Structure 1
Amino acid sequence: MAQQYSSFQHGGTMWLLQRITAAFLIVVLAFHFFLLHFVYHADEVSFALTAGRMEQWSYYSLMVLFLITATFHGVNGVYNALINQGLSGTKRTAVKWILVVASVVVIVQGIRTANAWAGIGVF
């Protein structure tokens, strides 16, 4: 049988965070799907309705946490998949920092968008 290789150290911090974020994302995606497909139907979803939901602190904070968690989970997964494919040396370092910068840009822009929907005038 072929040997299984993973760049995650079993029991390491990144291994654990990948599993915790996966469990969180399953729950939040189920909530998101239920809310936007069963509570509100596609023809009812509007900017005003979204803004109304985002003005609630609980919904706003859940969506920001969802953004950060999904970004971390996705980028960490892509980075480790590339390492598993043999990425090493200078290319590995370059890819790591490109992914870090891209993650920061996605999170900052996501929070700016959430703030605009919530009527918060911060950054």
Structure 2
Amino acid sequence: MAERYSSFEPKGTRWLLQRLTAAFLVVVLAFHFMTLHFVNHAADVTFQGTQLRMQQPGYFVTMVAFGLTATFHGVNGIYNALVNQGLSGTGKTAVKGVLVVASLLLAVQIVRLALVMAGVTIA
């Protein structure tokens, strides 16, 4: 039988964070679908309605947390998938650097977009 290999340390921090972020994303995604696809049908969702929702502190924080959590979960998953496929050495270091920079840029853009959608002027 083939030996199981994972770049995650069993019960390690990255392993735990991957599972916690997955659970959070499932709950918030269910909230998103319920709010924007069942309570309000997709045809009724407007830019102005989005701005009004984003001005509510609870919704704003939830959506920013959703975006940042999804970014971490996705980048962490991609990195570990590549490591599981045998990425090592200089390539591993380079990929890690590119993913960290890309995720930081995405995180900044998520926060900027949320602020603009909430009506906050950004200089």
TM-score category, normalised to shorter length: over 0.9
Between the aligned partners of 2:49 and 2:90, the Cα distance in structure 1 is 47
Q: 2:75 maps to which residue?
A: 75
CA deviation string 1:50-107 (max 9, x = no partner): 0000000000000000011000000000000000000000010000010001001111
SS in 1 for 2:52: helix
Q: 1:85 maps to which residue?
A: 85
Between the aligned partners of 1:95 and 1:48, the Cα distance in structure 2 is 39
Q: 2:96 maps to which residue?
A: 96
Structure 1 residues without counterparts, runs of 5 or longer: none
Between the aligned partners of 1:121 and 1:15, the Cα distance in structure 2 is 38
Runs of 4+ in 1 over 6 A off after TM superposition: none
Structure 2 residues without counterparts, runs of 5 or longer: none
SS in 2 for 1:115: helix
User: By how many angstroms is 1:122 displaced?
Assistant: 4.5
Between the aligned partners of 1:19 and 1:42, the Cα distance in structure 2 is 30
TM-score (norm 2): 0.97
User: By how many angstroms is 1:46 displaced?
Assistant: 0.9
User: By how many angstroms is 1:121 displaced?
Assistant: 2.5
Amino acid at match of 1:53: R
Q: 2:60 maps to which residue?
A: 60
SS in 2 for 1:3: coil
Q: 1:40 maps to which residue?
A: 40
User: By how many angstroms is 1:16 displaced?
Assistant: 0.5
Q: 1:106 maps to which residue?
A: 106
Between the aligned partners of 2:122 and 2:56, the Cα distance in structure 1 is 16
Between the aligned partners of 2:42 and 2:36, the Cα distance in structure 1 is 7
CA-based RMSD: 0.9
User: By how many angstroms is 1:120 displaced?
Assistant: 1.6
Amino acid at match of 1:87: L
Between the aligned partners of 2:51 and 2:24, the Cα distance in structure 1 is 24
Between the aligned partners of 2:104 and 2:81, the Cα distance in structure 1 is 20
